[in-house]
A and B are shown apart, each in its own frame.
Chain A
Amino acid sequence: MSLLEIKDLHVKVENHEILKGIDLSVNAGEVHSIMGPNGSGKSTLAQVLARRETFVVTAGEVLYKGKDLLAMKPEEAACEGVFLAFQYPVEVPGISNAYFLRSAVNARRKYRGEEEMDAMDFIPYYKEKMKLLEMDERFMNRSVNEGFSGGEKKRNEIVQMAVLEPKLAILDETDSGLDIDALKIVAKGVNAMRSPDRAIVVVTHYQRLLNYVVPDFVHVLVDGRIVKSGGPELALELEDKGYAGVEGEAVRV
């Protein structure tokens, strides 16, 4: 059984149909990349999987670990191991990163019936993950994303992912706006998370990140549909021909 099984998913946002029948199967241990032009529905798909409730599913189903993902609230999906690295991470002034993240860790532990983690145990673990993403320890006590640069926000998302150890990680344009150094750091963080019992879905507009995080599968999303799927070489082909070229081919097929 696949970790994630999307069948004929249709989604409306503010009365516009954005996803028009998505089929996708993702197994544990795999890295998938979903590529597509702006407005193709990539971010909508990512957010629906993280259970954003303002997006209305009009048809189809999504099974995650064999369970109905669409029946879950965002916090249930999170506690079941789904993680979304946001395209635009939200600033939460007044709440420190450490407090926020420990609350998140403990919410999951509580959900699984495990004992909560105290600050003494949490902080060293958190520091270790920050080190991996080359983030200054001082970020720990700063408010969540407040005053962070674009690159710092994205790195902070990956730190959160590393701390929360999801089963299914979805990265929504984590590469956009990163300079090459930051991109390499993020890629290192993501690669460190690759594991036989975890799946990673990388949503991106550009092929750039895929030079460093090499996917097992690439899917091309255009106008709410997956028009083509293939191996990592498809990403290069896209870079070469552009989305229009690939889409044209797909239509011919």
Chain B
Amino acid sequence: MSLTTTTPELQSYLESFTRFEKSAPGQEQGWLRTLRQEGFARFSELGFPTTHEEDWRFTNISPISRTTFQLADGSAKVKARDLDPFRIPGAASQLVFVNGHYTPELSSLGKLPKGVRVCSLAEAIEHARSLEGLLGRYASFDRDAFIALNTAFLADGGHVYIPRGVVVEAPICLLYVSTGNSAPAMAHPRNLVVAEAHSQVTVVEDYVSIDSGVIFSNIVTELYAGPDTVVAHYMIEREDTQALNVSTLRIQQERNANVESHSLLLGGALVRNNVHPVLAGEGGECLINGLFIGKGRQHMDNYMLVEHAQPHCNSRQFYNGILDEQAHGVFHGRIIVHKDAQKTDAKQTNRNLLLSDEAQIDTKPQLEIYADDVKCTHGATIGQVEENALFYLRSRGLDEIAARRLLLYAFASECLERMRTGPVRTYLEALTTSWLPEGMALVQAAGAEVQRNWEELG
């Protein structure tokens, strides 16, 4: 393979890759070796995206592209009690990854129904389980440098397999812990979730920090939801404010599959949250729900790509953003309705509260419709905390801070209420409450809510 560009950063990725290849798990398996090499070659060709590209217009990733990262090793020591705040009560099992490396002594596998497999991807690879044709099947790296890079370095992550007809009620949690590093470090977690027909499962990915430090996490999760499955996926980002986190959730939905993707973005310096479901069987339903709360100089970019490939599917996108101080949020909601996907019902709503004059939101719908009998709606609002509502609560005796917090919580809870009641929701409700900003900017006069309606592009 040859590198067309030889920036110092690319040179450093090449060195990392050469070293990585020598000890990567499953390297003796030809298909995996090839997959990694193809990933790296594609990454080298594509290079990191710039703001000149439509999909990256609002997000400048130079903190990633201009930094030299070393692959994080698994040497960092984390004490079990440091993870206490990050344990979700009621979880069936929790796999713990420290800087991307599975750490069995911190993990608990719990009791799971027969046939269910919950293990690290490295372990699944080492045991030469039949991942060939499955891993990398749906997360195409052809046009995505981050997926390509992840594929090049894929080695560890969570693997969840639910056999046909099995229901796992309690959530399965993948806890990714970043620790402080002396030099900028990178990790490329790769998760593979397979839910066979008629099964049910909830998977939680949770990204946390226990020390401050520059870490670039580049995550790819492939989620296969077989026919008639009920699958919920949660993405929680609550890392330190130096963390760089790019994640891609690629969902493949078969006939009548019911999938929910919930994202809660709270932490990180630069966060890009890609959610890409493909409704590939008739009767599929997909809920894409998210809440992002930014302050300081946080940048949170949510890029949704919902593909309707078959008829009679519906998708619902709801994202709410709360931005304070100089935080910058992005919501890019792209819907593609392929020509066979008649009777598609796709809806998209993005609501934002800006709590300071310097906070910023870019919201952009993008509808590409190639079928003629479909229903697609979208809308976005940007506003401040309403003076009228604040006065109403205060007139009942709540002080200004309490009233404001209650209104923010109410706004946030629109998203929380879309989650199924259970241990994850309960945990996230408490987490969100503790994260909501206090004090904050001046109240704007009533009527400041701006309703924007966007022209359909397709």
Give A contacts to B, CB under 8 Å.
50-54, 73-75, 77-79, 83-84, 86, 89-90, 92-95, 100-101, 103-105, 107-108, 111, 143, 160, 164
Complex formed: what's the CA distance from A127 to B211 in Å? 49
Interface string of B144-160 (1 = CB under 8 A from A): 00000000000000000
Sorted from nearest, which 3 A-B pairs have the closest CB atoms? A94-B410, A107-B397, A94-B413
Which residues from A are CB-within-8-Å of B388?
Answer: 90
Of B386, B398, B407, B413, the most chain A CB neighbours within 10 A belong to: B398
Interface residues on B, range: 20 to 34
Contact assessment for B397 and A111 in the assembled complex, using a CB-CB cutoff below 8 Å: yes
Least Cβ–Cβ distance between A171 and chain B, in angstroms: 13
Using a CB-CB cutoff of 8 Å, which residues 388-402 of chain B contact chain A?
388-389, 391-400, 402
Contact assessment for A75 and B397 in the assembled complex, using a CB-CB cutoff below 8 Å: yes
Of B388, B395, B398, B409, the most chain A CB neighbours within 10 A belong to: B395
Contact assessment for B397 and A79 in the assembled complex, using a CB-CB cutoff below 8 Å: yes
Contact assessment for A75 and B410 in the assembled complex, using a CB-CB cutoff below 8 Å: no
Contact assessment for B398 and A107 in the assembled complex, using a CB-CB cutoff below 8 Å: yes
Complex formed: what's the CA distance from A100 to B400 in Å? 14
Complex formed: what's the CA distance from A233 to B395 in Å? 33
Which residues from B are CB-within-8-Å of A107?
Answer: 396-399, 402
Which residues from B are CB-within-8-Å of A83?
Answer: 395
Contact assessment for A74 and B395 in the assembled complex, using a CB-CB cutoff below 8 Å: yes
Complex formed: what's the CA distance from A164 to B400 in Å? 19
Which residues from B are CB-within-8-Å of A100?
Answer: 393, 396, 406
Does any Cβ of A come within 8 Å of B445's Cβ? yes
Complex formed: what's the CA distance from A143 to B416 in Å? 14
Contact of B396 among A53, A111, A143, A160 (CB under 8 A): A160
Contact of A90 among B392, B409, B412 (CB under 8 A): B392
Q: A75-B399, A103-B402 are in contact. Are A93 and B410 (CB under 8 A)?
A: yes
Which residues from B are CB-within-8-Å of A51?
Answer: 395
Contact assessment for A104 and B392 in the assembled complex, using a CB-CB cutoff below 8 Å: no
Closest A residue, CB atoms, query B446: A54
* Interface of B, helix, strand, loop or mixed by DSSP: helix
Which residues from B are CB-within-8-Å of A93?
Answer: 410, 414
Which residues from B are CB-within-8-Å of A90?
Answer: 386, 388-389, 392
Contact assessment for B397 and A54 in the assembled complex, using a CB-CB cutoff below 8 Å: no
Q: A52-B391, A54-B445, A103-B406 are in contact. Are A94 and B398 (CB under 8 A)?
A: no
Least Cβ–Cβ distance between A122 and chain B, in angstroms: 14
Complex formed: what's the CA distance from A117 to B417 in Å? 26
Which residues from A are CB-within-8-Å of B445?
Answer: 54
Which residues from B are CB-within-8-Å of A143?
Answer: 410
Contact assessment for A78 and B413 in the assembled complex, using a CB-CB cutoff below 8 Å: no
Contact assessment for A74 and B391 in the assembled complex, using a CB-CB cutoff below 8 Å: yes
Does any Cβ of A come within 8 Å of B161's Cβ? no
Closest A residue, CB atoms, query B410: A94
Closest B residue, CB atoms, query A84: B395
How many inter-chain residue pairs (CB < 8 Å) link A and B? 77
Which residues from B are CB-within-8-Å of A78?
Answer: 394-397
Q: A54-B445, A90-B389, A103-B402 are in contact. Are A164 and B397 (CB under 8 A)?
A: yes
Of B391, B397, B411, B414, the most chain A CB neighbours within 10 A belong to: B397
Does any Cβ of A come within 8 Å of B387's Cβ? yes
Q: A74-B395, A75-B398, A89-B392 are in contact. Are A54 and B410 (CB under 8 A)?
A: no
Which residues from A are CB-within-8-Å of B402?
Answer: 103, 107
Contact assessment for B398 and A104 in the assembled complex, using a CB-CB cutoff below 8 Å: yes
Using a CB-CB cutoff of 8 Å, which residues 376-431 of chain B contact chain A?
386-389, 391-400, 402-403, 406-407, 409-414, 417
Which residues from A are CB-within-8-Å of B389?
Answer: 90, 92
Interface string of B35-66 (1 = CB under 8 A from A): 00000000000000000000000000000000
Which residues from A are CB-within-8-Å of B387?
Answer: 54
Which residues from B are CB-within-8-Å of A50?
Answer: 391, 395
Contact of A92 among B393, B399, B400 (CB under 8 A): B393
A selection of 15 A-B contacts at a CB cut-off of 8 Å is A51-B395, A74-B394, A75-B397, A75-B398, A75-B403, A86-B395, A93-B410, A94-B409, A94-B410, A94-B412, A95-B406, A100-B396, A103-B402, A104-B397, A143-B410
Which residues from B are CB-within-8-Å of A86?
Answer: 392, 395
Which residues from B are CB-within-8-Å of A104?
Answer: 396-398
Contact assessment for A94 and B414 in the assembled complex, using a CB-CB cutoff below 8 Å: yes
Least Cβ–Cβ distance between B191 and chain A, in angstroms: 31
Q: Known A-B contacts: A92-B392, A95-B410. Give 9 more (CB < 8 A).
A: A50-B395, A75-B398, A94-B414, A100-B406, A103-B398, A105-B397, A107-B396, A108-B397, A164-B397
Least Cβ–Cβ distance between A250 and chain B, in angstroms: 32
Contact assessment for A164 and B396 in the assembled complex, using a CB-CB cutoff below 8 Å: yes
Complex formed: what's the CA distance from A73 to B401 in Å? 13
Closest B residue, CB atoms, query A86: B392
Complex formed: what's the CA distance from A93 to B412 in Å? 10
Closest A residue, CB atoms, query B391: A52
Least Cβ–Cβ distance between B388 and chain A, in angstroms: 6
Which residues from A are CB-within-8-Å of B391?
Answer: 50, 52-53, 74
Complex formed: what's the CA distance from A82 to B13 in Å? 68
Closest B residue, CB atoms, query A92: B410
Least Cβ–Cβ distance between B393 and chain A, in angstroms: 7
Complex formed: what's the CA distance from A164 to B386 in Å? 24
Complex formed: what's the CA distance from A160 to B369 in Å? 49
Complex formed: what's the CA distance from A90 to B393 in Å? 9
Least Cβ–Cβ distance between B110 and chain A, in angstroms: 33
Closest A residue, CB atoms, query B408: A94
Closest A residue, CB atoms, query B406: A95
Closest A residue, CB atoms, query B414: A94
